[in-house]
Amino acid sequence: MGSLHFTMISSGSRGNSTLIWDQDDIIIIDFGITLRRLRNRLEEINLGMGSASLFISHEHTDHSKGIPYLARSHSVDIYSREATLSALGIRDGYGIREKTAIGNFSITSVPVSHDAIDPVGYVLKWGKRKITVVSDLGVVPDRLIEEARGSDILAFEANHDVDMLRNGRYPLQLQKRILGRQGHLSNDQSAEAISQIASGGTRIVLTHLSQENNTPEKAAATVRSYLENREIAYASLECATQELGTPVYTLETD
């Protein structure tokens, strides 16, 4: 019997990073933040950087810019798709395909649609527990829904409100990129996908909210209304932020 823990340090276009850990291992998903942000959060939650593994979703700087500093300062094993490692110039990383085992964790990388070289989302299983972390995708593939279904914690992109984006100050070309199949999920797209994944025990975290074309209130209201109108149960719903990420979530394990 032990505990499984989750927190997002930061989520948004200026940097993303998530920590998931048990009594033996720390899994870091993406590192588009500074070492200071990491160390501050570790101090806040009284967690030491013991055995750590970094999984990179894709090469864009808001998910990867802090990796060289992390690698120089800590002993961290780095995992990602071969093409992503190559794009980042990481020569001593571990190329992954489908499933990877780290201690008690089984990590599945699921291909997603985004304008990166080989982007993925991650589904982590620990015994009967499941945590899904995914952002930066223009459409939601069926396989992701299948892999993520029944997650205890579902960290899922809700990037923009379509009306805010179309009526905002972004140039048309950038709007088209965001709205395209290799762009980002809208609140409505997120709500539809989450409705196919969530169950009564799912704690939903909306991620990668645009600070220009969305608000936490709009994102949460859209998803909450969609789920409740269809009588889809879930345990909780909140938005991760750029500045604070999320609180620590704890799951008891068998």
pLDDT single digits (tens) 128-152: 999 999 999 999 999 999 999 999 9
Task: Tell me, yes or no, whether 250 lies in a domain.
Answer: no
How high is the pLDDT of residue 172?
96
* CA-based nearest residue to 1, from 244, 241, 254, 210: 254
Q: Which residue has the tokens 């938005």?
A: 239
pLDDT single digits (tens) 37-88: 999 999 999 999 887 999 999 999 999 999 999 999 998 999 999 999 999 9
Task: Tell me, yes or no, whether 204 lies in a domain.
Answer: yes
Query: What are the residues facing 102 on neighbouring strands?
Result: 105
Task: Tell me, yes or no, whether 149 lies in a domain.
Answer: yes
- Quick check: 1 pLDDT over 60? no
Task: Tell me, yes or no, whether 248 lies in a domain.
Answer: no
Structural domain including 142 reads 2-242
What CATH number did the domain enclosing 201 receive?
3.60.15.10
Q: How confident is residue 35, by pLDDT bands cut at 50, 70 and 90?
A: very high
How high is the pLDDT of residue 49?
87
The pTM of the full predicted model, rounded to 2 decimals, is 0.96
3: CB partners within 8 A, 6+ apart: 22, 23, 250, 251, 252, 253
Task: Tell me, yes or no, whether 253 lies in a domain.
Answer: no
Counting the structural domains of the chain, the total is 1
Over residues 9-16, mean pLDDT? 97
Over residues 147-162, mean pLDDT? 98
Task: Tell me, yes or no, whether 251 lies in a domain.
Answer: no
